[in-house]
Structure 1
Amino acid sequence: MDISPANIRDTPPHSRPRSRSRSRSKTRTPTSRSSSAQRRPSLNSTASSSSSISTISHKRSLSSSSLNKLIVTATQIDHDRSIPSVQVYLDNSLPLDFFKQDLISLIKVLKISKWHKRPLTTSNLLVNRISGALTNSIYKLEYVDQENNKLPALLLRVYGKNVDELIDRDNELSILIKLSQKRIGPRLLGIFSNGRFEQFLDGFVTLNKLQIRDEVISQILGRRMKDLHYKIELDEQSDLGPQPTCWKLIEKWLKLFETELLPGYLDANMDPQKIFMVSFPQFKKIIQKYKQWLFNKYDAENFTANYKFCHNDTQYGNLLLHESFKPEDIVYDSSASNDNVTTIKSTSNKKDTSLAVIDFEYSGPNFPAYDIANHFTEWMSDYHDAERSYYIHDDKYPTQVEQLNLIKSYVEYDFQYPSSNLKTEKKFDDLINDSTNPVSIIQYEIEKLYNECIYWRASPQIFWGLWGLIQNGPLKPPANNSNASEQGINGTYNITVGTESLTLDDKDEEDGVLLEDAITSNDDDFDYLKYANQKFALVLGELIQFGIIDKTDIDEEYWPVIKYLDTKTYNV
């Protein structure tokens, strides 16, 4: 797990790591620090700012308010467990000492187990930022007193800005409660208005871009996905709607972008076609054509029978591996794969609990193929790239053998037949009646799921592309270049107002720009517009190859940007 010290603010500016963000303002200077909220206003910024428990301007922390006026409610998990909750906001843009004081106050109010009864001091509280999260700000909290006595570490999650329309927090809480009842994921310890405290999984380390490519770890992930998909029951009343979770949110975000954000793009002189590579109305029509094409591949009468509980965000930052895990402990042997040249290792599931999946903010009923396809596309991202963290490296997409390695592990583990009602040339009854060759049924399911992942692959690109636009928030209209004068004490001073840049170019940030403090929300450390553009470049490449659109439907100037992945499928 990548952890950066929260007190990085105390290091000289020249020794800090370079920010991943690209400033949209060419007029920023080291002395012109502005808050994240100012540079990227929240869609609900008024409510957020008025509810904050403390602000830099007032230097007032939660501890100075009347704690006994806060009403703590409890959400029941089961007969002997409940989660305390309080309606108060935590401002993680505060200076470190103030932030620590507010954390201690919240811990006391929520009566966090083993912490709240201790006389906590800010000097003994260690706050470390965990990098890699894009939606939230994540911290590891540790406490070591003067006698070197330690408390169990806590994970603090502060929700990011501009996510009110991205995440249904009530639905997320109900899912987390359901997972907690199954003893899946870290324990919830306390909830506040814009975040929560969780159990910190000691000994677990976040996977990186290289580890997810490890064939043994990939097989474990396949089995862990299968557990999640089939062992968490769906509610027939609320979970089996006409659209799976990803498409419900895609429809919602398309409408939100069109009504709330698109007018601001036009006011800011930003042409949306630079992001979508087609006009926005055309983009909407293309997406609907793809959706209809995709849904028509399944039995319409039993469409919701394909739904399983899916994570929907299986990027490597949400996958943790225990530091004691050794791949060689679970490798049985190697058997020939389909091409009879390369090999796929056979592994045991006895160490599968060494891999933990976290962050269920986007989870819900969906097609398993979406979850797997989403994970494969995350192989192309490097969110820790100092220069281009937004970039999609299409040459890093897993090979066919690498895909089959995970899919084979998924299908064979706790075998389910049929896994979906995808329309195929081969008939279910014919395969079932062929009892003399059960291997052919497994092979059929592997090939079928491989095909489904190809068909679904554009869906997570649409999903995360729109997510990036919503996460980015409204654009500011450019200020007019003008010169103004103001009468000073000893004369007249000329004031120049610059124009804010809103382009998608790759120019480096100017030297001397003040980096965000490590403890401050990192919403601005990622270029969401370029990220969305990269995702949509993948979408167009897929749909061209599927024959849903023609390349000539896109202006020729954007052709070099389009990304093409292999869309060959098995004949099933």
Structure 2
Amino acid sequence: MAIKTIDLLKGCASPEEIMEVLASVALEFGDVTDDMDALQVVPLKGAMTNEVFQINWPTKSGDSLRKVLVRLYGEGVEIFFNREEEVRTFECVSKHGQGPRLLGLFSTGRVEEFIHARTLSAADLRDPEISALIASKMREFHNLHMPGPMKVQLWPRMRNWLSQAKRLCSPKDIKKFRLKHLDEEINMLEKSSDRCQEIGFCHNDLQYGNIMMDEETRSITIIDYEYASYNPIAYDLANHFCEMAANYHTDTPHVLDYSKYPSLEERERFVRIYLSSEGKKPSDEEVEQLVEDVEKYTLANHLFWGLWGLISSYVNKIDFDYKEYASQRFRQYWLRKPIVLDSTHLEL
């Protein structure tokens, strides 16, 4: 349901600045209108780091609507990533033709090209045809050449987040979430994965809401790069598999259902398509090895997003039960750790 622009601007640090940027974007499109009240705002659900809105206004001819996307940065999220670096990543990915164009910046957010495609649903991730498209697109994304050294960012980022969590959390939460033990766990996970692995430019947050599909061409677009960085590709695949337990468009979006984690057969099929997408048929051994690596990285993924949820519960005002989400991720870590690390059987 569309609402007036003024409702979007309530509580913003710089409403006039936002309106100026939108007017500038309209001017670039040749859609200048003297009636800024003609702008409509449609809140988009499912975002947990930022608030996201679709903005519509009449084109100059008046017979259609121009659409853009406005992203209002969440409070306190600078703890998780450097916003300037994230914007540079956004622009670089766009230049590679992999996502929406950056149309404008303001101090509390930005304006992006509106992708005329359907955002995937939780159920779509389990559709074999759509899953195959995602696998191929992930391989393409991982092969992007981005600025900066090709160094794994997972471990230093987790250590930084753990430090921030210890600083923010109450003594009760520090004890409840066993934060004093997590330095040792992170060190153990890093050592257990220190053998040579393929590094790629990873999205690191490939939940269904960050994947769009053109219904006509069936082309996939990956969006939202706040957490993107170089990492082991196995970690990114692990993150995608873990996200299959989530549905952020329910009355309880924070609740995870790990019975929906993909089966061994589904994981093997995804990995085989991923490795085959460049035209080279992988051996059964290559598929098996990557599936095993991916499963190990689910543990790091649970700690990563557990820390994210815990920190977010202290700094982010978005209506989402971050602390309960964190509890589930940490619980899954301790439950799965002995099974994943001590067993060669990967079936859940």
- Cα deviation 1:408-434 (Å, max 9, x = unaligned): 111111156xxxxxxxxxxxxxxxxxx
Task: Select the residue among 236, 246, 249 that pairs with 1:381.
Answer: 246
Identity %: 28
Amino acid at match of 2:118: V
* Structure 1 residues 370 and 547: alpha-carbon distance in aligned structure 2, compared to 1, 3 A threshold: closer
What is the deviation of 1:149? 3.1
Higher RCO structure, 1 or 2 (CA under 8 Å, sep 6+): 1
- Cα deviation 1:472-511 (Å, max 9, x = unaligned): 225xxxxxxxxxxxxxxxxxxxxxxxxxxxxxxxxxxxxx
* Conservation of the 8 A alpha-carbon contact between 1:154 and 1:200: yes
Look up the match of 2:163.
255
What is the deviation of 1:569? 4.2
Look up the match of 1:240.
150
Listed as ranges, the gaps of 5+ residues in structure 2 are none
Look up the match of 1:498.
none
Look up the match of 1:185.
99
Amino acid at match of 2:33: P
Task: Select the residue among 527, 540, 562 that pairs with 2:321.
Answer: 527
Query: Partners in 2 of 1:213 and 1:120 — Cα distance?
Result: 47
* Conservation of the 8 A alpha-carbon contact between 1:127 and 1:141: yes
Task: Select the residue among 328, 331, 345 that pairs with 1:537.
Answer: 331
Does residue 1:323 correspond to 2:215, yes or no?
A: yes
Does residue 1:448 correspond to 2:289, yes or no?
A: yes
Look up the match of 1:291.
190
Query: Partners in 2 of 1:569 and 1:219 — Cα distance?
Result: 21
What is the deviation of 1:538? 1.2
TM-score (norm 1): 0.56
What is the deviation of 1:214? 0.2
Task: Select the residue among 222, 243, 253 that pairs with 1:357.
Answer: 222
Amino acid at match of 1:568: H
Task: Select the residue among 126, 135, 141 that pairs with 1:213.
Answer: 126
Aligned to 2:79, the other structure's residue is in SS state: coil
* Conservation of the 8 A alpha-carbon contact between 1:381 and 1:393: yes
Query: Partners in 2 of 1:271 and 1:153 — Cα distance?
Result: 43
* Conservation of the 8 A alpha-carbon contact between 1:454 and 1:567: no
What is the deviation of 1:150? 2.9
Look up the match of 1:152.
66
Amino acid at match of 1:258: K
Aligned to 1:158, the other structure's residue is in SS state: strand
* Conservation of the 8 A alpha-carbon contact between 1:162 and 1:470: no
Aligned to 1:153, the other structure's residue is in SS state: strand
Query: Partners in 2 of 1:134 and 1:318 — Cα distance?
Result: 11
Query: Partners in 1 of 2:325 and 2:78 — Cα distance?
Result: 20
State the aligned residue count. Answer: 345
* Conservation of the 8 A alpha-carbon contact between 1:253 and 1:467: yes
Aligned to 2:318, the other structure's residue is in SS state: helix
Amino acid at match of 1:449: L
- Cα deviation 1:38-65 (Å, max 9, x = unaligned): xxxxxxxxxxx8xx22xxxxxxx52xxx
Query: Partners in 1 of 2:59 and 2:99 — Cα distance?
Result: 29
Query: Partners in 2 of 1:283 and 1:104 — Cα distance?
Result: 45
Instruction: Tell me which structure has the larger Cα radius of gyration.
Output: 1
RMSD: 2.8
- Cα deviation 1:300-326 (Å, max 9, x = unaligned): xxx6xx22111111000000111335x
Aligned to 1:359, the other structure's residue is in SS state: coil
Look up the match of 1:58.
none
